[in-house]
Amino acid sequence: MDAPRTPTPPPSAAPPAASRRTLLTVTAASAGALALTACGAESGGGGGETPDPGVATGEDLAALEDVPIGEPTFARTGGGGEAFLFRSDETTVTAFGTACTHQGCALQPAGVELRCPCHGSVFDAATGEVVTGPALEPLPTVRVKIEGDRIVAE
């Protein structure tokens, strides 16, 4: 006489439930891949596409009196070009592109610096030089001059 057998449950069509560890690992890997995609694989930490400021020779940027000494001032031309102007004294004006050289994000003035809100790069508003990365390249220079009481592109 055979011993009674315990019935075997029928095979389930559903796969076994994922463990909490597996779920967290997959979620973290997906988030990491998304972050890398958002940062742009082509940049390698610097040197991403920086838009040309688009300021043409002879374009009027601002009245001299509208650019305070020691503060970066945003300017947009009638043709759509953009630049940050900086007066270090009564007769000296410099100008730079408005996009970070790391990934092209719009810079924001902060005291005597221009800061990138995307990845934290900081530029000297008077020279366009990188103060803090991840940007590696300085801001593109926009050549300007003072004509009477106006600042114009050279």
Q: CATH number of the domain at 60-153, out of 2.102.10.10, 3.40.190.10, 1.10.287.610, 3.40.50.2300?
A: 2.102.10.10
* Contact indicator for 88, 126 with CB cutoff of 8 Å: yes
Average pLDDT, stretch 93-116?
A: 93
Q: Could you tell me which residues come within 8 angstroms of residue 149 by beta carbon, excluding any fewer than 6 positions away?
A: 63, 64, 65
Integer Cα distance of 39 and 27 in angstroms: 19
- Token readout for 146 is 């003072």
Residues near 104 by Cβ (< 8 Å), separated by ≥ 6?
48, 49, 50, 51
Work out the widest C-alpha separation in the chain, in whole angstroms. 115
pLDDT of 81 reads 84
Q: What is the mean pLDDT of residues 123-150?
A: 93
What pLDDT does residue 42 have?
36
N residues, the chain: 154
Question: Mean pLDDT for the chain?
Answer: 76
Does position 13 have pLDDT exceeding 80, yes or no? no
Fill in the amino acid letter for 29. A
Q: What pLDDT does residue 57 have?
A: 84
Spatial distance between the Cα atoms of 18 and 150, rounded to a whole number of angstroms: 68
What pTM value is reported for the model?
0.65
**Every domain of the chain and the residues it spans:** 60-153
Whether 150 has a pLDDT exceeding 50, the answer reads yes
- What residues contact 23, with CB distance under 8 A and at least 6 apart? none
Cβ burial 39-67 (10 Å sphere, 16+ → b, else e): beeebeeeebebeebbbeeebebbebeeb
The pLDDT of residue 31 is 40
Lowest-confidence region among 46-55, 92-101, 120-129: 46-55
Is the model more confident about 16 or about 102?
Answer: 102
Q: What are the pLDDT digits (tens) for 33-63?
A: 333 333 333 333 344 444 456 787 888 899 9
Please report the pLDDT score of residue 9 as a whole number: 54
